[in-house]
C-alpha cells in the first residue's frame, strides 16, 4: 500500500475546515511543519505547534471568514506515481492570485510567487484555495 503523508495532512486540514473544527492534529514531519508554517504566513491556517515528547505531532489551528472556512479546496498536483516539475518561468498565479501553489525547491518549500521572484523552479506539491 502506497501512502502519501502530505496528501493525508492536506485532506485533514480541508476536512477539519469543512467540519468547523478549531484544531487539527497530524503526525509530525519536517516537510509538513514547513508547509504548515507557509500556510500560516499566507493566512490559510492559524497557529502551528509541534507537540509531544516521544511521539511528535502537529497541532494546527484553523481559520474562518465569519462562517466560511479559509480552506475550501486542496488539489495535490504531484503524486507518488507522477511527479510534476515546473521551471520558474512556467509559474503563474493560481485562481487569479486568491489561491496558492506550493513548490518543493532547492531553496526549500516556497509559494509560487516567491519561487518566481527567486528564479527557482521545482516540484509542484499542491494548490490550495
Give the Å distances, CA to CA, from 49 to 20, 30, 56, 75: 19, 12, 10, 24
Task: Report whether 31 contacts 6 (CB < 8 A).
Answer: yes
Distance CA 48, CA 9 (A): 13
Helix 5-18 to helix 30-41 angle (10° resolution) is: 40
DSSP symbol at 12:
H
pTM over 0.75: yes
Output the tens digit of pLDDT for each of the chain's 129 residues: 458 999 999 999 999 999 999 999 999 999 999 999 999 999 999 999 999 989 999 999 999 998 899 999 999 999 988 999 999 999 999 888 889 999 999 999 999 999 999 999 999 999 999
For each of the domains in the chain, give its residue range(s) and CATH number, in order of start: 5-69 (3.30.1370.30), 74-128 (3.30.1490.10)
pLDDT score, position 2: 58
Amino acid at each position: 500500500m502506497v501512502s502519501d503523508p502530505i496528501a493525508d495532512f492536506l485532506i485533514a486540514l480541508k476536512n477539519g475546515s469543512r467540519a468547523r473544527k478549531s484544531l487539527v492534529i497530524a503526525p509530525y514531519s519536517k516537510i509538513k511543519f514547513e508547509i504548515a508554517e507557509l500556510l500560516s504566513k499566507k493566512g490559510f491556517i492559524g497557529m502551528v505547534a509541534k507537540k509531544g515528547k516521544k511521539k511528535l505531532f502537529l497541532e494546527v489551528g484553523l481559520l474562518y471568514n465569519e462562517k466560511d472556512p479559509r480552506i475550501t479546496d486542496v488539489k495535490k498536483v504531484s503524486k507518488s506515481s507522477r511527479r510534476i516539475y515546473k521551471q520558474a518561468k512556467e509559474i503563474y498565479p493560481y485562481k487569479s492570485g486568491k489561491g496558492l501553489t506550493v513548490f518543493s525547491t532547492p531553496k526549500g518549500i516556497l509559494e509560487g510567487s516567491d519561487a518566481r521572484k527567486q528564479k527557482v523552479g521545482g516540484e509542484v506539491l499542491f494548490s490550495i484555495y
